[in-house]
Structure 1
Amino acid sequence: MRHFILTVSLLALSAGTVIAKPPLRDVAQIDNAVFDVAVADQIRKKCDDIAPRVITALSLYRETRKLARKLGYTDDEIEAYGDSKVEKARMRAKGEAYMRANGVVTSDPQSYCALGRKEIQKASRIGSMLREK
């Protein structure tokens, strides 16, 4: 009987223990998907020769939200991450660094086109959201 009471007590204590979720920025699958969409979006905005593959981007958006929910994040938490000025600034800086490292010069639209073509040719996730006009 004493063993039973101890087991039930331990189960009750463990049920009350909440495991904290990491911030969405620390979930690589989520953060990397957001990064790829952000880079693809900048390329298509800056290069007139490249258009977005809107359905592909929307599919990735839906899959990423679905994954976040599956990982236990609420719609409010997902929205807060997406709307955060801090996260937008962090993502912008990360994207700018990536583009600079890949030859993009902000004053040269053709450098965005070159990166876009490179991503399309590599069949990267960024490239999958872009197409040449």
Structure 2
Amino acid sequence: MKFLTPLVLSAALTATGAQAQGFPGDVTRVTEGLIAAGMAIELGDKCDDVRVRYIRGINFLQSLKGILQDEGFSNAQIDAYIDNDAEKDRLEAIARGRLADLGVVTSDAATYCTVARGQIAQDTQVGQLLR
């Protein structure tokens, strides 16, 4: 799964602010947002009928950055989160599981389009990142 490119994550999640306690991955709104973005990217990559709204996606990721800033995470903490391969793997597994729960069958490309169109029609966070 091409989840979120390191460049997009770095640009979107680099933040300044006071030191926060904890781990950025514990901020539910951020992890849920990253999962939704990853699902949208996967659907856009696998379905030729839909495209990822990259400008909207960047703005969305910037909003996640703002959440981390509000929580007080430092650049070093956010960079460590971005570079955390175990966390990337964890979020990708969740995104894949959710796509499967929605009806994606990896061996059937048409299911990606069905799910993508459904997400767009339902105006979910995933659907808002697609067109």
Equivalent in the alignment of 1:12? none
| Equivalent residue, structure 1, for 2:61 | 61
Measure how far apart 1:20 and its partner are.
6.3
CA 1:75–1:61 in 2, change beyond 3 Å: closer, same or farther? same
Letter in 2 for 1:30: V
Q: TM-score, normalised by structure 1?
A: 0.80
Give the residue type in structure 2 aligned to 1:85: D
**1:86-127 alpha-carbon deviations (Å, 9 max, x no partner):** 011101110111011111000111111111111100101110
Alpha-carbon shift at residue 38 of structure 1 (Å): 0.6
User: Gaps spanning 5+ residues in structure 1: where?
Assistant: 1-18
Q: Count the aligned residue pairs.
A: 113
Q: TM-score, normalising length from structure 2?
A: 0.81
Quick one: which amino acid aligns to residue 34 of structure 1?
L
**What is the identity, as a one-letter code, of the residue corresponding to 1:99?**
L
Whichever residue aligns with residue 129 of structure 2, its letter is M
Unpaired runs of 5+ residues, structure 2, are: 1-18
Query: Once the 2 structures are TM-superposed, how far is the Cα of residue 22 of structure 1 from its aligned partner?
Result: 2.4
In the alignment, which residue of structure 1 is the partner of 2:123?
123
CA RMSD of aligned residues (A): 1.4
Moved over 3 A (4+): none
SS in 1 for 2:111: helix
What is the percent sequence identity of the aligned residues?
28
**Structure (1/2) with the larger strand percentage:** 1
Aligned match of 1:108: 108
Aligned partners of 1:69 and 1:75 also within 8 Å: no
What are the equivalent positions in structure 2 for 1:73-88 lying under 5 Å apart?
73-88=73-88
Q: Which residue identity is paired with 2:57? A: A
CA distance in 1, matches of 2:20, 2:62: 24
- Equivalent residues of 2:20, 2:73 under 8 A apart: no
Q: In proportion to residue count, which structure has more helix?
A: 1
- Correspondence for 2:71: 71
Measure the CA separation in 2 of the matches of 1:75 and 1:109. Answer: 39
